Structure 1
């Protein structure tokens, strides 16, 4: 009897276990089916799977394995008109929303550091909406109110003189919105060759931290007293494995009409294949030979004059708002400097070997510096400083350029590898320390080789202005997309010049040009003299020193445009003078905008002479408003009055990732820097993705992203557990029966 009771109780327990397992199994199936049925193709959090993408898309990874965030696609077309040295460009950005959600697109992109952005248009269907200039805070308020009301709107803001942000609100599912930006610029001339640069690559900026130093975190939450706006200049990066759809890499198409004002000689694109069609009127049309190119390398066009066709002066004027604006480009004769004796010099070479220089850039920098060392004379003195997030000097101070010392420096430079962060300030300060005891007889020059991948430019400019003394600073921009804002302004504040090396094949020629400048006399004491009562303002003011092969380039506002003006300066102990009749000037549009842009630059740089910030801000704001220019304090905003999105529909914020500059060895950066990437997500999604690595997850060693170890769904785990319990229960019953 007790034995029979035991069998009955055991059987009852077994059946309870089976029923319990079956209930879990049924519930798991129900939950799994419900999740599958209720999950839309584009979920509210904006995450999608590759299988859900039917057309090409730009996707950002998240911590959830197999889930991506569709970013807006941006295709850019550029039309550039060049008349003499005056450049007028129209940049058309096509924002396409590939997702099924309403999106606000954010795109950080480069423009020339000297450009004056003065027009914004937004195209909705066949309608163009003209942008209006406002103080930056007011423009942002107008944009955000329109965005929140469901209206389409666009906003152009300046982050740095060579870095801008386009914001486009309320792009509907599958919709395209077109934004057009226009800017004014001027072509540069050196050694008889004109050059026009359209930047397309944006070098990620290193942000010095208040705590541990690191490359910009791309997490949208950077805190740095040195760079208060760090979160605005560190857009997400498009890594190669983040581009599962081939061909969608921020394509850019370019067409240029070149009317130089003289018979053209050689016309060439330095880094992109182009076609050049010359017309009978002497102009040329330049196009990309193979269609759109990726936005990861600056486009540089150069042109020269046919033999004996180069004018020695070019004058352009524009009548605007009751005043006459003048652009003058004057070429001093080079032969005045040929007979001057060479002065002994002390040259401090500073080379950037941080992680952003890895790959082609490091090779270019090493080759350039070795070439410079070989060019030293036995009577020169020199030293070499290298920096990443540490600093090292070859010698404790400058030494004679003996064969043994040069050999030591060459060996040091040849062994440099790119690694670590870009802590530029300590190296710059060390280079500015002047230990000379032989007075001004020995020229002191600092040659700074870097890609300029930093965000604390203002700190560096201030250090140069405070510590320059009798030294002169020459910047050498390395790589496919250097920070030209830093390079050009550092050289201007340092009273030197800027040289760009964009390809390893240019090292010899470009360093040769630089040493022509270093070894020849400088034209100083430059001044422009106008008839009494005719000149209102001239910029830059004062005119900078000139180095070999550089022209005098100035803009002026005139009250009375008649008569002549004279440019004079001193070169190799001789006085140089050139007088030009203003009646020779040709009319040209955009000269007023160039003058205003130069005025803003000059006002901004007056902070290094101790001008109070409040006075600088007041003058910059008024100039920018008067000439409708985007600046640090003003923005252009365009709003469509017709609402497009129902305010009850959610709006997702999406940043467009930037491409890695061509030649970057990004894996080196990833391995040496604590890099994170952000996708400009909605706050709840951002919090979930950035919450850390939960238990059961690991950090992917290859790309540094926290990713789950597997893609198994939790519902499947529940189902598997229920099945195991069911089989266990059945096994228990079978065992009891056999017993």
Structure 2
């Protein structure tokens, strides 16, 4: 059964602990503050960053080794918020303590956070890596001794983006720019391998500097080394490369696990399908395309101007054999033409004038706009598609997401692919995800400060030359299951299609790709070796698991946090050690020090946990010697609420619980309370410590 916790509110609270004092927070920054205190976090020095990457084709495995320096004269907790590339999967966290490295394990998020706090209260050394959304991660490490170093190693695997024939690798070097002073050392080393010869290899960000070395080892391998000292990085490190393809290419890779992998006995495969480098006009499928755009009142201002720019870009990528239309909607729906028209110079000129006159007004009737768009004369022999853009939720006509999605599905009788773009934060993500994925397209979400025209313009460029449609992969004789993604997307020039799955039996089998080019059926064949002996490309199972997790997260976005969906995400995350919004990496020393080694020498009253709390909280204190102890609760007026403890205690740690009640056992009101401990030592001296805590209802 699914554990009950509030995922979204948990993320907000974790971030708020840092964001509240600062008001703003830059990515890739380390902050620290004295342990057990609630002071504002200060920047922490990132001493060194060393990264090592191995790339085979489009699969990159990167290990990042960081050393942080606590320059304060006190023990601190550090929090690092940092980004990773969009398709990255964190697969390993290591943490150095007392000269020995420890490996983190994926656990359920709430369990990891509680374990981290528990270890912290007992003064051990834990590390906790949490996924914060939008491929942003938070690493919490505590305690870090005064004037000392702490080291971490994070390993992540990513499928590198491929667009317009170019593979792009980016190392987030700029993520460390907020260190309070230059880094002692920054280094990166990478080996880039390809089955096909490289036709281009370059670094648009760092090539030509004395800090960068690019060596061509052979036609199919490059080595890159970058390094600098006393350096404040101010930009990411990018490497772009191209390889040669003269026809549609299929690549098959696989992995059969060993017992040490602990992922069961199933074997996994991945298939890549790429178009040729150059696509002539005679190889391009003509398309019928409708741009359906939200022009309701919320689009007023810069958004409507960027929409107009995007539409002008749209016209540039129409071929002479294409047909198009533009449909705008607010409370009512307007079309450039009643039906699709040829992309002739005259029609494009008229369409440009139509776009110039677009204004923002009205409510948001998505249902009517989509049904009208699907009534256009789509037909076989064309790549049929709708590009849909909105910045909000349906507010007029039919507003129920399930009904709108069902209406679109019923109206889509010509297998029209739907590509959706959501602008800003106040957009119906479940609607856009479902109506796109169920109709052969995808949904993309554009941040408030992103360039709408550029992003949608790139999409038009990507889909301007359809190469293959209605793709299907068959491997006769091989028993496969759970292929992802579902369904396969169309193949466009400059893009790629991939499928990952599980296979049960072994052997050499033909891999058939069937597809359509216009109204013609085509087939491509490749031989695939699927052994059951351990080995292969070890990252393949994680790529499959990541694809399935992404599919389940899309389902959660549509249907909500249903037990069966969340449980599957957690199960896959734990099995394949992939970080998700529901899990965290947790590491601490596996050999616990004996109690005398971990006890502080002083009289200490720790911050209660949890705080704020409801209905109960834990109070921990440490006595350096035997003595008499009184622990009292007061409200902010100084009125005594209750006495939790009044007795002789031995030296060491002690733990109490307060259940939010007064001396008579009645529940007290929500608010801020003081807890005060009085300790009389063997010399008759009384020591007093006081802290605040908050009870919430």
> What TM-score bracket applies, with the shorter chain setting the length?
0.5 to 0.7
Is 1:535 aligned to 2:485, yes or no?
no
Match of 1:544 among 465, 489, 501: 489
Once the two structures are superposed, the pairs formed by residues 155-194 of structure 1 within 5 Å of their partners are 155-160=128-133, 162-194=135-167
Contact 2:89–2:579 (Cα < 8 Å) also in 1:
yes
Q: 1:411 to 1:504 in 2, by over 3 A?
A: farther
The correspondence of residues 12-161 of structure 1 with structure 2, limited to 5 A, is 69-74=41-46, 76-160=49-133
For the pair 1:370 / 2:312, whether they are aligned, the reply is: yes
Partner of 2:257: 320
Q: Do the aligned partners of 2:182 and 2:230 also contact (CA within 8 Å) in 1?
A: no
Deviates more, 1:619-628 or 1:644-653: 644-653
Aligned pair 1:601/2:544, yes or no? no
Which of 516, 520, 525 is matched with 1:574 structurally?
520
Q: Secondary structure at the residue paired with 1:589?
A: coil
- Give the corresponding residue for 1:622: 571
Could you say what secondary structure the match of 1:619 adopts? helix
Cα displacement (A) at 1:485:
14
> Given that residues 433 and 467 in structure 1 are in contact (C-alpha distance below 8 angstroms), is that contact kept between their aligned partners in structure 2?
yes
C-alpha deviation, 1:513, in angstroms: 7.1
Q: Which residue of 1 aligns with 2:273?
A: 330
**SS of equivalent to 2:272:** strand
Unaligned runs of 5+ in 2: 1-19, 23-28, 34-38, 259-264, 342-346, 393-398, 610-635, 637-697
- What is the match of residue 224 of structure 2? 286
- Residue 277 of structure 1: how far off its partner (Å): 1.8
Q: Tell me the SS of whatever aligns to 1:524.
A: strand
- Is the 2:289–2:324 Cα contact (8 Å) retained in structure 1? yes
Q: Check the 8 A contact 1:262/1:282 in 2, yes or no.
A: yes
Q: CA deviation at 1:476?
A: 7.7
The answer to whether the 8 Å contact 1:351/1:365 transfers is: no
Q: Which residue does 1:676 correspond to in 2?
A: none
1:496 pairs with 2:438: no
The answer to whether residue 506 in structure 2 is matched with residue 558 in structure 1 is no
Deviation for aligned residue 1:583: 2.6
Contact between 1:108 and 1:166, CA under 8 Å: does it hold in 2? yes
RCO comparison, higher one (Cα < 8 Å, 6+): 1
> Which of the pair has more CA radius of gyration?
1
- Which residue is equivalent to 2:604? 648
CA distance in 2, matches of 1:561, 1:271: 45
Question: Which structure has greater strand proportion?
Answer: 2
Paired with 1:537 and 1:79, the residues of 2 have a C-alpha distance of 33
Moved more, 578-587 or 498-507: 498-507
The separation in 1 between residues aligned to 2:270 and 2:568, in whole angstroms, is: 22
Task: Indicate whether 1:263 and 2:197 are aligned.
Answer: yes
Deviation at 1:463, TM superposition (A): 10
Matched residue, 2:325? 381
Contact 2:69 2:149 in 1 (8 A): yes
- The alpha-carbon distance between structure 1 residues 121 and 540, as it changes in their structure 2 partners (threshold 3 A), is same
- TM-score, normalising length from structure 1? 0.57
The CA deviation string for residues 156-194 of structure 1, in whole angstroms up to 9 with x for no partner, is: 122336232211121233333222211222224344332
Q: State the aligned residue count.
A: 525
TM-score, normalising length: structure 2: 0.60
Equivalent position SS for 2:604: coil
| Aligned-partner Cα distance in 1 for 2:561–2:234 | 39
1:104 deviates by: 2.1
CA RMSD of aligned residues (A): 5.5
Per-residue CA deviation, residues 705-729 of structure 1 (Å, 9 max, x unaligned), is xxxxxxxxxxxxxxxxxxxxxxxxx
Q: Distance in 2 between matches of 1:460 and 1:271?
A: 47
Q: Which runs of 5+ in 1 are unaligned?
A: 1-45, 49-55, 61-66, 203-236, 386-390, 417-424, 453-458, 654-683, 685-739
